[in-house]
Chains A and B, each alone.
Chain A
C-alpha cells in the first residue's frame, strides 16, 4: 500500500460542476498537509495548505481529518482552467522536511 493514496481518476466534469478529491495517508505521525496542482508537462505549484480546522480559498475548500488520516479538496463552480492533476502531499520528515506526494488525480473540466 502506498503511503499517500488518491482517487484514481480521471475526473471529467462539465463547467460549473462541483468536484471532490479524496486522499488518505498511512503515517499517523505526518505533520503537515497540502494540495498541489500540476498542469501537463509543467512543475507542481502549491494550491493550498490544509489545516485541521479546514480552510477555504475562493472556490477551493480543503479538509483534514487526522483521526481518519483523510484529506479532501472540494472545487466549486469548476472552470476550464481548473483542468490539471491535483496532488495530495504529506510532510512526515524527521526534521520536518520529508514530503510524500500522492500519485495525483487528473481533472478535466469540459465546456
Chain B
C-alpha cells in the first residue's frame, strides 16, 4: 500500500502523559499536513510542512503541541501533558507541490482518560 500511513491507529493515555504520533506520507509528496477532528466536526488544520520547513501553524496549536519533519519525509506530532480535551482523531495528509489535492491517512484516535 503506497498511501499515507499513520501510527499508532489508536492511543489511550492518562491525562498528563506525553504522546507522539507518526505519519508517513506518500513518498513523492513534499507537502504534509496535520489536522484534528472531533465527532460531528470537520478536520481542523493544525500545521503544514513543505519538505522539512514548517510554513503554517494554527493558533489552535498550543505550546503543548509540536510537530517535526526532520528529513522532509515522515513527520511526528507530539502532545505534551495531555488533557481530556485533546481526545480526538489526528489526521495526516500529504500532497504534491503545485497541487491542492490532499491524500489523508487513516488517522490516530487519541483517548485521554
Give the docked Cα–Cα distance between A94 and B48 (Å): 11
Chain A, residue nearest B100 (CB):
A32
Tally of A-B Cβ pairs under 8 angstroms: 53
Q: Given A34-B100, A43-B91, A49-B100, A103–B40 Cβ distance below 8 Å?
A: yes
Within the complex, what minimum Cβ distance (angstroms) separates A108 from chain B? 15
A97, closest chain B residue (CB): B48
B48 A98 Cβ-Cβ under 8 A: yes
Q: Does B82 contact A (CB under 8 A)?
A: no
Interface size class on chain A is: 20 to 34
Instruction: Choose among A43, A87, A102 the residue that contacts B107 (Cβ–Cβ < 8 A).
Output: A43
B90-106 at interface with A (beta carbon < 8 Å): 91, 100-102, 104-106
Q: Mark A95-111, 1 if CB is under 8 A from B, else 0.
A: 10111111110000000
Docked pose: A87 CA to B100 CA in angstroms: 15
Q: Bound complex: CA of A94 vs CA of B55, how far in Å?
A: 9
Q: How far is it, in angstroms, between the C-alpha of A98 and the C-alpha of B106 when the chains are bound? A: 20
Report the minimum CB–CB distance from B38 to chain A (whole Å).
10
Is A100 in contact with B45, judged by CB distance below 8 angstroms? Answer: yes
Tell me the A54-111 residues at the B interface (CB within 8 Å). 87, 89, 91, 93-95, 97-104
